[in-house]
Amino acid sequence: MKTVLITGCSSGYGLETARHFHARGWRVVATMRKPRAGLLPADERIQLLALDVTRTDSVAAAIEVAGPIDVLVNNAGVGLFGAFEATPMATVREVFETNTFGTMAMTQAAIPQLRARGTGTIVNVTSSATLAPMPLVAAYTASKTAIEGFTASLAHELGAFGVAVKLVEPGYAPSTRFAANGEERMRGLVPEAYAPYAQRVFAALTQVAEVTHESDVAEAVWRAANDSTGRLHFPAGADAVALAATN
């Protein structure tokens, strides 16, 4: 039985991905900052762990308690929408702490066991914002683009030891809690001067015909985790797939 450890399983992509792997017979280590009963089936193949990817001690403890894993899915992330001019650098650093450094910390903690066994896969979830520039998400896009470069380089580095590293790039997913989870962080980030422009951007988003669903991301992560072709990029969702085709 294979084991996958997934970060950010309290909702959205992470929760759906945990369900997806469990339904296919895997042992799932589902992590989140505050584990809640009832999110996933009460099953011996599911282990809920508390994990804050921004804390070194929490990362180390989760890796140790989880035991041997075959796949690490770095899904935990925070959103940010607003004018960069109005975004405090403390907020930018907060986003990078989770989206960028949290992913790196989890990866670094998992590498020794994967390298020693000469097998395994690391899947880093980024965003279709890395495929085509989008307005009012500059800091968020920067945090995800950093992981794109990190992953591409690491794929070569770990490939020498039989460990695969993949990217999953979800599209625009209005059904997730991206905006709600970052509501406090985003307050005041659209000042009056930017309001008309932001309204046009919001209006355009409501007209998007093809969007991404949680199940699209779960399936893309599944394919990435089981891929043996050397493929790096896995766009997730019809809109992300269309964007990737233009690049």
Tell me the catalytic residues. 140
The tokens describing 116, both together, are 């020693």
Measure the CA dihedral 82/84/90/94, to 10°.
Answer: 60
- Whether 158 and 119 have beta carbons less than 8 Å apart is answered as no
Residues 6+ apart with CB under 8 A from 206: none
